[in-house]
């Protein structure tokens, strides 16, 4: 009888696993096929690669020292807020002072939301601070860590804003989070990291009212507005390899890989080899801004390459370390992913050039 019970339990677990795998495959398939080839090409036409060049309007402001609590960090905050105002998105700040190994430091997370009245958010996030290093012959800039990811968020927001205005689904909106204080100051203290994300995740556990709609509170906390968080980090170096880190977002990871395959077939990206390792899940842990959210059961798609770029946490992580074709590929891929996720079918914008987006 005990053997029979054990066998039944094993079969039930197997059936549950097969069901989960089926659902994962179905979600990925739905995302991959949400848009037509023509719609994907329309999204690719939105690209303005010059905005993501080292002297471009979205990347250049981040290619500076921006250690928390410094003037460089405050100038980057000012830039983020200015772009949020240009977009016309709802702006929130989460400012706090924290004791650190470097003394008392001021931090500010910045949140931009397209439609704050929507009850669900597709969150795209990156950290805007740079790591502290003792003064030396060269400054640490952190071009991949994470100037490029921040620039990609603005490229995404500005390129899709026209379509999001036309998007009629009142349920889901796009939200950008720029985290401060991701980097450790010293590193010896196990608590000396992800200062901003720890604070925001804890703060968002508290019940609050929707901005702009105080009478409608379908969820208890801001955390429960998050449908999916996509965290970008260490992007921009040549030949990155992205791994499938979490089982509960494996469907979205595979969807990204599937969308990349469509872009390759349409000659809309620069290379014909995938950036995504889909044959197995990554074993091990990476400490990043997703951790406080994963601990609170928020689904996170973590887009960080492993192995890390060779220039990671060195002064060589500057503009010279960047591969601009990789950056351009990711700007298109993230645009198509977000439009597919929202099922926001693009219609031609008046200002779009009809020059072919295809790359040969």
DSSP lists the bridge partners of residue 123 as 175, 229
Residues composing the chain:
360
CA 259 to chain centre: 16
Angle formed at CA 174 by CA 325 and CA 240, multiple of 5 degrees:
25
Q: Are strands 172-179 and 120-127 parallel, antiparallel or unpaired?
A: parallel
Q: Where are the beta strands (DSSP E) in the chain?
A: 90-100, 103-113, 120-127, 172-179, 226-232, 242-244, 276-281, 300-303
Which helix (H) or strand (E) segment is 327 a member of? helix 324-342
Taking alpha carbons only, the member of 235, 193, 203, 229 closest to residue 68 is 193
Structure tokens given for 348: 């031609």
Taking alpha carbons only, the member of 158, 10, 16, 145 closest to residue 82 is 158
DSSP lists the bridge partners of residue 121 as 173, 226
Catalytic residue at 182? yes
CA dist., res. 16 & res. 19, Å (int): 5
User: Any idea what DSSP says for residue 99?
Assistant: E
Name the burial class of residue 244, with classes exposed (0-12), middle (13-18) and buried (19+) by CB atoms within 10 angstroms of its CB: buried
DSSP lists the bridge partners of residue 99 as 104
Structure tokens given for 194: 């992800």
Q: Which of 42, 227, 233, 260 is catalytic?
A: 233
Q: Which of 42, 145, 155, 182 is catalytic?
A: 182
CA dist., res. 360 & res. 251, Å (int): 30
Catalytic residue at 233? yes
Residue 300 makes CB contacts below 8 A (sequence gap 6+) with 228, 229, 230, 231, 246, 249, 290, 293, 294
Instruction: Show which residues are catalytic.
Output: 182, 233
């Amino acid at each position: 009888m005990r053997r029979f019970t054990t066998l039944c339990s094993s079969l039930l677990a197997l059936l549950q696993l097969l069901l989960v795998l089926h659902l994962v495959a179905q979600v990925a398939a739905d995302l991959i096929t949400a848009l037509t080839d023509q719609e994907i090409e329309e999204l690719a036409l939105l690209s303005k690669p010059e905005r993501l060049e080292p002297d471009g309007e979205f990347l250049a402001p981040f290619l500076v020292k921006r250690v928390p609590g410094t003037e460089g960090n405050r100038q980057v905050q000012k830039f983020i807020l200015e772009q949020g105002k240009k977009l016309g998105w709802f702006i929130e700040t989460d400012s706090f002072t924290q004791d650190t190994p470097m003394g008392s430091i001021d931090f500010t997370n910045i949140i931009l939301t397209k439609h704050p009245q929507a009850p669900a958010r597709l969150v795209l996030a990156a950290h805007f601070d740079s790591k502290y290093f003792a003064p030396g012959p060269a400054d640490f800039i952190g071009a991949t860590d994470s100037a490029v990811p921040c620039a990609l968020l603005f490229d995404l927001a500005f390129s899709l804003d026209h379509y999001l205005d036309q998007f009629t689904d009142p349920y889901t909106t796009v939200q950008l989070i720029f985290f401060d204080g991701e980097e450790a100051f010293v590193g010896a203290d196990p608590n000396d990291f992800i200062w901003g994300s720890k604070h925001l995740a804890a703060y968002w556990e508290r019940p609050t009212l929707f901005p702009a709609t105080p009478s409608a509170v379908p969820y208890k906390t801001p955390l429960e507005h998050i449908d999916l968080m996509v965290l970008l980090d260490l992007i921009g170096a040549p030949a990155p390899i992205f791994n499938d880190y979490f089982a509960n977002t494996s469907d979205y990871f595979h969807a990204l890989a599937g969308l990349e395959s469509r872009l390759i077939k349409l000659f809309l990206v620069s290379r014909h080899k995938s950036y995504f390792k889909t044959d197995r899940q990554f074993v091990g842990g990476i400490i990043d801004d997703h951790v406080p959210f994963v601990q609170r059961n928020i689904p996170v798609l973590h887009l960080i390459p492993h192995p890390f770029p060779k220039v990671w946490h060195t002064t060589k992580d500057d503009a010279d370390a960047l591969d601009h074709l990789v950056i351009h590929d990711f700007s298109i891929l993230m645009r198509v992913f977000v439009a597919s996720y929202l099922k926001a079918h693009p219609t031609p914008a008046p200002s779009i050039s009809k020059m072919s987006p295809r790359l040969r």
